[in-house]
Structure 1
């Protein structure tokens, strides 16, 4: 495996950590900036929305720029945005810093995925993408506890200083060791939009949205689910979340290995089907803590195992617009997160948190239906845009 893939994975981990890192320091931010808790919570919402919107837009407007210089410029912008967050004298400035950080982070995430596919041979692409997604999943899982630990010890601004320092270090390392990579040919916007008329590509994108919607329907309310069904105390909750995080990180790597061994299409069908079964069975395992922990590890691992296979599938299905499709998929992932959180809240309010897993499983089945439909469509529609001559950084 090309060692530069691991550097990109570390950079992606640093970027992803920022999204939820304020979740563990909301009380500190509200006290220091004298704002209500609901306003502080919008710092996460604004980040997610900006991330979702920015990815495809920035990938389009930076299509002329060579990949390596673009990556370094985005990292520098990410560094500056976190310095601004750390120095923020007011809520408004902090909000602007979060939006800028999300925009740079969205571009960096898609570039990491795109560059990784060029650094390795096709036979190892799934495993390489799995390593990148280990960085993404690890950052989302560890962001809250990391922010909480640093914030409680040194104040809420400390996590932003740490992220700024790590992003600067990543910029220096990648500037030295990242080899030149090909820049995809310039494709007119009308042609890019035409690719979304291809039912094979649209249904492939919906796989991610419904998968994350189903997952977040329960995961966004995992703590009340554990407290309601198993009456776990704070110590056990911490252990469960730690185990969940480790399984999520491992899932990305295992998913990449499965995608390489069995191919992305079979890997997607296997992972989504298994995920639906495991998620639907979770409420039945709560009678035994140990049985539940085994089921939860499978649930957590499978939640991120799908990503390498699906990214590989998108690249194969739309080779001419792969960068655009990967950017759009990043947006779709965040849309699924937002939808799952909202739907899970409705279930909790109208019924009980015990039903969240079953409602989530329904959306996983929709994801499976999209996968089956997409795989059954022929390659060569609007998505199969011929590439021109790429340039190198």
Structure 2
């Protein structure tokens, strides 16, 4: 039997998806651009891989801390106001990154940007969960996550061209300018999101946070997200340095490499989103994870490789990465109850960011480079570590899937019993 053939989106829902996709585009681009700028930053600021790993993880750790600090407040305010507040702060931090000229100032700017930017994803997830049914969320995730692909198709290549012409600071100023326009659209077009405020919550902020963390089912979701993030973040910080110094890609070819990978993401993600609403989300996640593990091992063991083949490997690896993000996000979004969604999403995003920071820092300790122009060493070890983490991630996501099915069955039983009582009353 077909899965309830997917309800069409209303005009307003389409506009909400568009707005959230744009905010994700800028936030992801701000974070993603650090990887392609990696080789340029390491050379211009004379950084070792470990120092660059700290610069990347600074954003992630501050984003994680911010999410934990705001988790208790997340269900007490209009989600639109929260989104605007943190998005404006993110814009200010990104401007600061564009004005930085030393390593210390850059790290400070990344911390500030992370404090605000790290919460935006969780607020967006809470809005999605409030406004869309579980049967719609796979498609919504697919479109919103297109910000990842779009950042590679448009943002990263344009940012790299600007960086080559004007310096590595230019991409950050570009992101800040674009985000300023999007903030105006949010202000003018997004309606208040306050349905969660109708659910009375007598707990204090700290008690609400503790209540959310203390739930066993929630902790399973948190752990699964953290492991997925560690696996996903480990390769990214040194992607451009590996491509240039190990695979023989030139700085001029790098924008095209990211653009081709991004185009493939834009094609793959909506397809995966629709597929995840029709088939088992866990099964799709498991297949994608196995595919990603194989591609990671193959890619990290490459030496000098023809540019065309490097592009093919990137596309195949991107298929695995993005095809596991969408079903896992949709499953995790179904774990919390409505009154806990904001707090759950904030904690979940925090752990995701902190895990990403740990991954970047650990990768920086594993990867070695004799000088700024020599090949990276031990990058293949990062690939093997990702395989081990991904296997554990599959087991945990199976637990999440079982929790979601159990919860759905419980709701269906309650609805059936209410209908029986109503019919008996008539």
- TM bucket normalised to smaller: 0.7 to 0.9
Partner residue, 2:353: 334
> 363, 373, 381: which is aligned to 2:399?
373
Q: CA deviation at 1:197?
A: 3.9
Deviation (angstroms), 1:156: 4.8
1:61-81: CA deviations, max 9, x gaps? Answer: 354221122222223333333
Q: Which residue of 2 aligns with 1:70?
A: 82
Please say if 1:110 is aligned against 2:122: yes
Does structure 1 residue 128 correspond to structure 2 residue 178? no
Determine the C-alpha separation between the residues in 1 that align with 2:188 and 2:254. Answer: 42
Q: How many residues align?
A: 378
Q: Distance in 2 between matches of 1:140 and 1:255?
A: 18
The answer to whether 1:353 aligns with 2:379 is yes
The equivalent residue for 2:26 is 14
Return the offset for 1:131. Answer: 1.6
Any conservation in 2 of the 1:15–1:105 contact (CA below 8 Å)? yes
Deviations, residues 190-231 of structure 1 (Å, cap 9, x unaligned): 344344344433233233332332344444444566578765
Query: CA distance change for structure 1 residues 304 and 324 in 2, over 3 Å: closer, same or farther?
Result: farther
Q: What's 1:274 paired with? A: 291
Q: Deviations over 1:14-59 (max 9, x none)?
A: 122222445638968997xxx7646787543322221122123223
TM-score, normalization by structure 1: 0.78
Q: Would you say 1:184 and 2:196 are equivalent positions?
A: yes
Q: Is contact 1:9-1:112 (8 Å) kept?
A: no
Matching residue of 1:171: 183
Which is further off, 177-186 or 162-171? 177-186
Deviation at 1:300, TM superposition (A): 1.0
Match of 1:308 among 326, 347, 358: 326
The match for 1:213 is: 230
Contact 1:150 1:159 in 2 (8 A): yes
| CA gap 1:326/1:308 in 2 versus in 1, 3 angstroms | farther
Query: What is the CA–CA distance in structure 2 between the aligned matches of 1:206 and 1:262, rounded to whole Å?
Result: 24
Instruction: Sort the Cα spacing of 1:5 and 1:256 in 2 relative to 1 into closer, same or farther, 3 A.
Output: same
* Alpha carbons of structure 1 residues 345 and 322: separation in structure 2 relative to 1, 3 Å: same
Which residues of structure 1 form unaligned runs of 5+? 385-393
Deviations 1:309-331 (A, max 9, x none): 22222232212422222222222
Distance (whole Å) between structure 2 residues aligned to residue 101 and residue 376 of structure 1:
36
The worse-fitting range, judged by mean Cα deviation, of 147-156 and 303-312 is: 147-156
Matched position secondary structure for 1:261: coil
SS at structure 2 position matched to 1:262: coil
Deviation at 1:123, TM superposition (A): 2.4
Matched-pair contact (CA < 8 Å) for 1:112–1:132: no
Q: Is 1:325 aligned with 2:337?
A: no
Residue of structure 2 equivalent to 1:388: none
Q: TM-score, normalised by structure 2?
A: 0.73
CA shift, 1:263, in A, is 4.4
Which one is further off, 67-76 or 40-49? 40-49
Indicate yes or no: 2:267 matched with 1:253: no
2-structure distance, mates of 1:48, 1:141: 23
Deviations 1:326-382 (A, max 9, x none): 2222223333333433444555459843444333212111111212233345856xx
- Give the distance between the partners of 2:363 and 2:167, measured in 1 at CA: 32
Larger displacement relative to structure 2 (218-227 or 356-365): 218-227
- The question of 1:262 aligning with 2:279 is answered yes
Cα 1:235–1:84 shift into 2, 3 Å: closer
Bigger mean CA deviation after superposition, 359-368 or 195-204: 195-204
Query: Is the CA contact 2:38–2:240 (under 8 Å) kept in the aligned structure 1?
Result: no
Out of 206-215 and 183-192, give the one that drifted further: 183-192
- Contact 2:71 2:344 survives alignment (8 Å): no
The structure-2 alpha-carbon separation of the partners of 1:197 and 1:332, relative to structure 1 and needing over 3 Å to count, comes to same
